[in-house]
Structure 1
Amino acid sequence: MATETAAATASQCVNSYGGAIGLPQLCPDWIGNQIFWLLVTLVIIFFVLSRVALPRIAAVLAERQGTITNDIAAAEDLKVKASEAEAAYEKALADARSNANDIIAETKAGIKADLDQAMAKADAEIAAKTAEGEKAIDEIRANALESVKLVAKDTAKEIVAAMGGKADAKTVDAAVASQMKG
């Protein structure tokens, strides 16, 4: 029995063969050792993280933040330049439209002046041809009237001669002239 009490007092978590009984990490005899090594491990992990890993992570985060800040500033600059370029484009477009309207107005005025000149020239030619035509018509009328007088005189002489009379030229001319006057 003496051996049993010595083994029992040695540890409640170990059997007579030296094997663990149940879960060794929950053995009350070993909790002190486990807490000590837990604290040592945590302190080592803390120092490794605080001296090595966290500064590297902080540097990467700071670099990213700087890159993001620079990119945002560059985007703002590009946005301002784009708005300036758009304003310049709108101004150039308005100037081009105004210039096009001026060219259209000048072209219309030139075409209207040419058209007015051509119309005046055509009107003058038409008036001259109309005057010539009226003059020719007046000449034709005068010639036709003279021709009618001659025909009337010849016809009157022939009619008087056919009726057996004798008509002198002076009497025939006076009779035709009185009939022509109305």
Structure 2
Amino acid sequence: MGEINLDEVNTLSSDAIKWLGNLEAEKTRSNIEAEDEAREQYIVVLVSDREIAFRVTDIEAILNVQRVSPVPGVPKYVLGICNVRGEITSVVNLHTILGLDQRRKSRRDRAAEKMVIVHGEIFSVGFLVDSVLDVIRVAEREVVKINAADGELSHIAPLSRGLYARPGEENRANDVILMDTERLLGTKELSQFQ
């Protein structure tokens, strides 16, 4: 349907104008729905002082930290294993995997800790995070690639889909790092749990 000029509008009946208005409203609604469909939901968690997000579709569960049984002879970043709904799950310190500093935690900090069970195509891993913050919806066009030369994020860049800047946030430190679950689980540190 082409553009309608002002002379044509003046000759249209009120029913035709109403119909065009409804058509335009429906077109706008369709555009909004299409934009919504292109957005993915992410769960934002706090790891050290960084906001990290996993796609909702990659998360199996978010649990209070359970009793973790240590396993001898495993790397330091593996905290142990725990039973999650009848499945033995490896529990990993995400701070270490991402190369983020881990500060000493108070009792209140430990009470806010959660275990995020993330699943890939082959296996699942429980990541210990400081807290769960938010659910966000992100369109692909809002994702900015991380510069691998960025010192602070250079270790995370190959494991992520990019950064998401919350609308109205000017401080780059508040950007949310969108993790790529398959890349993360494909690291040599984690792929041994297959």
TM-score (norm. length: structure 1): 0.23
Greater RCO between the two (CA within 8 Å, min separation 6)? 2
Comparing both structures, which one devotes a greater share of its residues to helix?
1
TM-score (norm. length: structure 2): 0.22
Larger radius of gyration: 1
Comparing both structures, which one devotes a greater share of its residues to strand?
2
